[in-house]
């Protein structure tokens, strides 16, 4: 595959797993287009990737919780670039009592996690289908496999991403576009996140992952055409084995400890 003038699009690319995806792809001599919120040092990251890895890196600052913004982004991408990789990594979590959140809080999570992922994929798919080989990787979560109290909206949105990805994979399996989904746990993105997750106790610490290792594993398995990528087999096994009447209160209690701490 000639990647000289073709690009990988990564949403949520300014930090954490998204940044690790960008660095891993650039290391493989793949041009990248970084998408993230404004004021996240995206320009500096793009320039650094160009200097270190000698690839082409573009960037686009946007709030994906607004549908109009998503459509403008995809219009720019389709009119300017050939795209052979799409990584839908942008997502919002949130740990709060459902009775205390605002309607904007709920809507923003659903818009970014569900609507933006679906719309970006839909709008870029014709571009991807034109390429000899193309890949879509959607970032779901271990939370997709169980409801969780005090995180009511987030797991539901990630269940959507997992289901959406599996269905799209089946629909496109006879085309040049391969679709995969990854279900990681919490990431060691910064010190604050690490402390917050550790307050959840054993279950939280068990799922804490290094974003660089997760990104490398994901890219490797994506190109090997794994339709479902698991990066934390121990926590995945626990989520699969434990019945809902056990794991739902267990996980809810872990999140409750985080709130109380």
Instruction: Write down the catalytic residue from 158, 173, 240, 256.
Output: 158
Is 154 one of the annotated active-site residues of the chain? yes
Q: Where is 134: in which H helix or E strand?
A: strand 134-139
| 55 and 6 Cβ atoms separated by less than 8 Å | no
- Beta strand pairing status for 31-36 and 57-61? parallel
Q: How far apart are CA 146 and CA 156, in angstroms?
A: 8
Q: How far apart are CA 224 and CA 172, in angstroms?
A: 16
What CA–CA distances, in Å, run from 255 to 146, 220, 240? Answer: 13, 32, 19
Is 158 one of the annotated active-site residues of the chain? yes
How crowded is residue 175: how many other Cβ atoms within 10 Å of its Cβ? 12
Instruction: Write down the catalytic residue from 19, 60, 154, 247.
Output: 154
Tokens of 221: 């398995």
Q: Where does residue 39 fall: left (phi above 0), alpha (psi -120 to 50 degrees), or beta otherwise?
A: left
Residues marked active site are found at 154, 158
């Amino acid at each position: 595959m000639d990647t000289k003038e073709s690009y990988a699009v990564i949403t949520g690319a300014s930090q954490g797993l998204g940044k690790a995806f960008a660095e891993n792809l650039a290391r493989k001599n793949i041009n990248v287009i970084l998408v993230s919120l404004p004021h996240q040092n995206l320009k500096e990251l793009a320039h650094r990737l160009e200097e270190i890895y000698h690839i082409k890196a573009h960037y686009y600052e946007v709030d994906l919780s607004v549908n109009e913004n998503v459509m403008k982004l995809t219009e720019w991408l389709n009119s300017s670039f050939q795209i052979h990789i799409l990584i839908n990594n942008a997502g919002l979590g949130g740990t709060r009592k459902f009775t205390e959140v605002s309607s904007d809080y709920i809507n923003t999570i659903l818009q970014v996690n569900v609507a933006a992922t679906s719309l970006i994929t839909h709008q870029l798919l014709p571009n991807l289908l034109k390429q000899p080989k193309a890949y879509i990787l959607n970032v779901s979560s271990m939370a997709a496999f169980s409801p969780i109290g005090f995180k009511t909206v987030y797991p539901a949105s990630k269940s959507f991403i997992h289901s959406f990805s599996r269905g799209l994979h089946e629909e496109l399996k006879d085309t040049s576009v391969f679709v995969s989904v990854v279900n990681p746990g919490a990431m060691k993105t910064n010190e604050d996140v690490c402390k917050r997750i550790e307050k959840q106790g054993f279950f939280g610490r068990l799922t804490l992952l290094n974003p660089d290792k997760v990104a490398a594993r994901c890219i490797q398995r994506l190109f090997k055409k794994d339709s479902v990528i698991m990066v934390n087999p121990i926590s995945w096994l626990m989520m699969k084995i434990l019945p809902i009447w056990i794991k739902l209160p267990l996980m809810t209690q872990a999140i409750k400890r985080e709130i109380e701490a």
